[in-house]
């Protein structure tokens, strides 16, 4: 199916699933005959007409694009499709080999380069071949030039923040990412909610990076601003609780680095929250998170005040 010429077929699919007759969908926007041709992708319609057709079948753009996006192949190289298949089969080690094979091709799109960096970033490989390092440098230089980042670029940056050195990712750029993502995004629909989720993840990663590099006081200030941003602008996010807990977890570690007694008090609250979740849900992820946080809190606590856990 041609990605550039599938709107009619998708419209027809939605219309028929909703049990709406052809003449009712056409309404006064276009003739039934023209709609037949549009649904066969034999002709196009203006944006104004298309919006009226959507209204005639009772859906909005968000509904339409939720059906449209799965048909759009943004990665023409095939990397994303093959990498997903390898993940589903549990063959993670083959992803690096696949990435090298794809990177040897010419004229790769930036979308493909971003996906490669994302997958390898999630794997956190130690031994990285030259061709993959070159792709990372290429992607990073591209991202540095952007005044504003898309949600896919934000995901790439979030993963890069975990592994890149200060020489590769200067603190000035990390600060720029923090400031960019401290600007609130309206979350009135599923697309902006998704972008908001990515923005918050990037913000968390950038603040954590700032703290790791020794800018604890600055990181504390930004973390407090991020928590307030979440409370006032992002309460509609699907994973709101996860995000705000993550910021409180990092705030504990920052305040313990600064030998602040309130860091101990906040650590006690965070662990009590996790204990409640574990008692209620008994999720392995919560148990692992608790163990990791307890170890981290104890390593950083130089206040002389004992924890209550």
The predicted-structure confidence for 166-182, as pLDDT tens digits, reads as follows 999 999 999 999 999 99
- How many other C-beta atoms lie within 10 A of the C-beta of residue 116? 28
For the record, the structure tokens of 193 come out as 């909610």
The predicted pLDDT at position 3 comes to: 45
Query: At which residue do the structure tokens 């993550």 appear?
Result: 246
- pTM for this one? 0.83
3-state secondary structure 240-255: HHHHHHHHHHHHHHHH
The predicted-structure confidence for 239-290, as pLDDT tens digits, reads as follows 999 999 999 999 999 999 999 999 999 999 999 999 999 999 999 999 999 9
**Cα–Cα distance measured from residue 44 to residue 62, given in angstroms and rounded to the nearest whole number:** 20
Res. 5 pLDDT band, cuts 50 70 90: low
């Amino acid at each position: 199916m041609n990605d550039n010429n599938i709107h009619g077929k998708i419209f027809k699919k939605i219309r028929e699933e909703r049990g709406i007759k052809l003449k009712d969908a056409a309404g006064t926007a276009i003739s039934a005959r023209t709609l037949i041709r549009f649904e066969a992708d034999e002709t196009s319609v203006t944006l104004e007409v298309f919006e009226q057709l959507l209204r005639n079948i009772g859906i909005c753009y968000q509904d339409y694009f939720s059906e449209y996006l799965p048909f759009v192949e943004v990665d023409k190289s095939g990397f994303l499709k093959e990498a997903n298949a390898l993940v589903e089969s549990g063959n993670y080690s083959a992803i690096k080999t696949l990435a090298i094979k794809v990177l040897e091709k010419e004229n790769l799109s930036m979308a493909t380069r971003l996906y490669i960096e994302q997958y390898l970033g999630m794997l956190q490989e130690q031994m990285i071949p030259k061709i993959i390092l070159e792709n990372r440098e290429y992607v990073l230089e591209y991202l540095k030039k952007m005044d504003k980042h898309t949600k896919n670029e934000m995901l790439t940056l979030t993963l890069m923040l975990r592994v890149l050195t200060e020489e590769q990712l200067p603190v000035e750029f990390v600060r720029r990412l923090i400031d960019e993502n401290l600007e609130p995004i309206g979350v009135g629909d599923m697309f902006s909610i998704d972008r908001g989720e990515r923005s918050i993840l990037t913000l968390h990663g950038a603040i954590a990076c700032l703290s790791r590099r020794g800018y604890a006081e600055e990181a504390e200030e930004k973390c407090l601003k991020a928590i307030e941003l979440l409370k006032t602008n992002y309460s509609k996010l699907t994973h709101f609780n996860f995000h705000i807990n993550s910021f409180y977890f990092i705030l504990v570690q920052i305040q313990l680095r600064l030998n602040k007694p309130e860091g101990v008090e906040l650590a006690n609250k965070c662990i009590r929250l996790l204990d409640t979740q574990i008692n209620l849900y008994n999720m392995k992820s919560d148990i692992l998170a608790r163990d990791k946080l307890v170890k981290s809190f104890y390593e950083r606590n130089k206040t002389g005040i004992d924890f209550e856990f």
